[in-house]
Amino acid sequence: KLGNETVKAELGRAAWRVLHTTFARFPDEPTADESQALKDYIHLFQRLYPCGECAQHFHELLKKFPPQVSSRTSAATWGCHVHNEVNRKLGKDIFDCANIGDFYDCGCADDEAGDKT
């Protein structure tokens, strides 16, 4: 467990950014293998998350709200929902998931052309 609240919050912001950006880039029509990979990634992310208290809480959330991996929209909506569950627990504002559309930009729009800049 990280002892310092500032560091824990910084880690959380970085982690949520990686997660939401991953969901925003997930295929609209994933293969079964891609869906399985995302499900495994989320479960391993939880298992290895460095803040023990957070990982424990996230474990309970994953049992209650299993990862939705059938499309980009379902993954992004699911991610927004579980983040809001954490927001609720911490007394933070609830994010409007209708606005998640273009919020998470990876800066890699040309990837599909093979140009990773």
Q: 10 Cβ partners below 8 Å, 6+ apart?
A: none
Cβ-in-10-Å burial (0-12, 13-18, 19+) of 81 comes to middle
Select from 35-43, 66-74, 90-98, 109-117 the region that touches ligand FAD (CB under 6 A).
90-98
Using CB under 6 A, which residues numbered 10 to 49 contact ligand FAD?
12-13, 15-16, 20, 49
Closer by beta carbon to ligand FAD, 31 or else 99: 99
**Among positions 36, 50, 52, 87, the unique one binding ligand FAD when judged by CB under 6 A:** 87
Closer by beta carbon to ligand FAD, 63 or else 116: 63
Structure-block tokens of residue 19: 């997660």
| Shortest distance in whole angstroms from residue 113 CB to ligand FAD | 28
CA-atom Rg of the chain in angstroms = 15
| Shortest distance in whole angstroms from residue 66 CB to ligand FAD | 15
Q: 36 Cβ partners below 8 Å, 6+ apart?
A: 69
26 neighbors 68 (Cβ within 8 angstroms) = no
61 neighbors 77 (Cβ within 8 angstroms) = no
Residues forming the site for ligand FAD (CB under 6 A): 8-9, 12-13, 15-16, 20, 49, 53-54, 57-58, 80, 83-84, 86-87, 90, 92, 95, 100
